[in-house]
Amino acid sequence: MTIKEKILIVEDEANISGFIAAILAANGYDTMTARTGSEAISMITSHCPDLILLDLGLPDMDGAGILQFVREWSTCPIIVVSARNHERDKVAALDAGADDYVVKPFGTSELLARIRTAIRHTRTHLPNGEIAQSGQFRARGLAIDYDKHQVLVDGENVHLTQNEYKLVSLLGKYAGRVLTYDFIIRQLWGPKAKNDNQILRVNMANIRRKIEKNPAQPEYIFTEIGVGYRMIDPD
Ligand code: CA
């Protein structure tokens, strides 16, 4: 028997939290619900959920405050579920440590896929917080060979430059998640790197020419306009 994953739903609207709880229960998860920020914090500290779904608009405090509070001591995956659809809200939540961002109204299968991705990432984390980066990443015709530092499409090496390879392998490491431009720049070029999206865009255009059949309609690496990039889920 497998142990059920416990998901905390932080949501002040009873009909929405009831709807989410029903979907999750039907898909084999245990759920708990908090309606306010203070309830959420006491549940997080006492129950250690496996994942948190976090609404940003709560009656007593902003969800961003909860995000910051949790990130001070926990790597528990957090998916922000919000009606706020502005790029700046998504970027702020992801940069504050949210693992993903789902906009209301959302599709059931989309929410479940994001949950699986976020939970899978906590499982592949090594104790020191690093993600194992050996072996291969595979998604359809795309493969990243982490040992040989190569990216292959349909079995052919596409000969990426060093920067292009670093960018693709980082996205592969966090496949299924949106990485913000700022996060990518800091990971690739260090905390003091200039926050210049232009270099990223140029690299991404070159990568797409090499790996995508139609760079204008990518099937492997997607752009979240104004936010960042997301690699397709692995097979
Ligand atoms: Ca709300």
For residue range 127-147, list pLDDT tens digits in order: 444 444 668 899 999 999 998
Q: Which two tokens stand for residue 102?
A: 């789902």
**Distance from residue 44's CA to the centre of ligand 1 (Å):** 18
**Distance from residue 233's CA to the centre of ligand 1 (Å):** 29
In this structure, what DSSP letter does residue 153 have?
E
pLDDT digits over 98-115, tens only? 999 999 999 999 999 999
Q: How far is the C-alpha of 139 from the C-alpha of 53, rounded, in Å? A: 27
Nearest to 179, CA basis, from 224, 138, 233, 118: 224
Residue 142 sits at φ, ψ, to 5 deg, of -95, 135
∠ Cα 177 105 68 (to 5°):
50
Q: What is the pTM of this model?
A: 0.73
Q: How far is the C-alpha of 160 from the C-alpha of 99, rounded, in Å? A: 28
**Distance from residue 126's CA to the centre of ligand 1 (Å):** 35
**Distance from residue 130's CA to the centre of ligand 1 (Å):** 34
In one letter, which amino acid is 136? Q
pLDDT digits over 148-186, tens only? 899 999 999 999 998 899 999 999 999 988 999 988 998
**Distance from residue 35's CA to the centre of ligand 1 (Å):** 9
pLDDT digits over 73-102, tens only? 888 899 999 999 899 999 999 988 899 999
Sign of CA dihedral 215, 148, 169, 185: negative
Mean pLDDT (the chain, rounded): 89
**Distance from residue 56's CA to the centre of ligand 1 (Å):** 6
